[in-house]
Amino acid sequence: MPVTELACLHLKNNLPLTHPTNASLYTALRAGITAQAEYTNAKTSLLSQIEEPSYIYIVGRWASVAQHMEEWVPSSKNQEIMAALGDGIEVVWVQHLALDDSQTRGQDEGIPYSDAVVGIGRYFVASENKDGFERDFTETRHHLETFKRQRDIAWGWSVDRDEEFVLFSGWEAVDEHFSFADSEGFKEFSRIRDVMLSAEIKHARWEFTL
């Protein structure tokens, strides 16, 4: 089953990837992502977190979890890449998403990279409440999609973590996202809170796609 990798990495020196100090690391990471994109024959993107810029995200398409974890990860090429990055970058977490087919538009999968800010929401839901969460999200997501303007969103459940739902949304600024919480539409959209355990909302800027 095709999946979308969402990986969070941290730069050990706590500086943004684009800081001059990280120039060689940036080059090595870009080379590694190029190799991954060539291996999967699919676009792979990198984003920098806005809240803490020393955290970055890699988003890429795989034919299956096995292709990523059992074929690519132990491969000599990937081990070479990780060795080049090991002193400067640590992996925080990696997961695979089954993005909703209705939002998948080619290799970019509907993720709104063209917006100035990409919201990355991780919603944690008890297994017995997954159906209720998905129902409430489906019935109310139009409020998010049409807030102030028509906006792109993409969503899906984690394949690795059965109780996690991930939502990507595009914004002009972080404050615009926060202002959604003050809207009339949010009052209905927030029904999802009733059936979830917790949430983590971060924002990122697109750096490049290879």
Instruction: Give the tens place of pLDDT for each residue, 171-192.
Output: 999 999 999 999 999 999 999 9
Per residue in 71-100, pLDDT tens?
Answer: 999 999 999 999 989 889 999 999 999 997
Q: What is the pLDDT of residue 152?
A: 87
Asked if residue 121 and residue 65 are part of one domain, the reply reads: no
Which pLDDT band, with edges at 50, 70 and 90, does 107 fall under?
very low
Domain that holds residue 73: 3-99
Q: Is the pTM of this model over 0.75?
A: yes
Residue 89: Cβ within 10 Å count: 22
User: How many structural domains compose the chain?
Assistant: 2
As a whole number, mean pLDDT of residues 2-26 equals: 96
Pick from 54, 62, 70: which is nearest to 204 by CA?
54
As a whole number, mean pLDDT of residues 158-170 equals: 93
Asked if residue 77 and residue 119 are part of one domain, the reply reads: no
Last residue of a domain, one of 69, 99, 129: 99
Q: What is the pLDDT of residue 150?
A: 87
Asked if residue 87 and residue 137 are part of one domain, the reply reads: no
Asked if residue 203 and residue 182 are part of one domain, the reply reads: yes
3-state DSSP of the chain: CCEEEEEEEEECCCCCCCCHHHHHHHHHHHHHHHHHHHHHCCCEEEEEECCCCCEEEEEEEECCHHHHHHHHCCCHHHHHHHHHHCCCEEEEEEEEEEECHHHCCHHHCCCCCCCCEEEEEEEECCHHHHHHHHHHHHHHHHHHHCCCCCCCEEEEEECCCCCEEEEEEEECCHHHHHHHCCCHHHHHHHHHHHHCCEEEEEEEEEEEEC
The CATH number of the domain holding residue 162 is 3.30.70.100
Last residue of a domain, one of 99, 119, 153: 99
Last residue of a domain, one of 99, 128, 148: 99
Asked if residue 202 and residue 115 are part of one domain, the reply reads: yes
Q: Please determine, for residue 1, whether its predicted confidence score (pLDDT) is greater than 70.
A: yes
Q: What is the pLDDT of residue 102?
A: 59
Q: Please determine, for residue 41, whether its predicted confidence score (pLDDT) is greater than 80.
A: yes
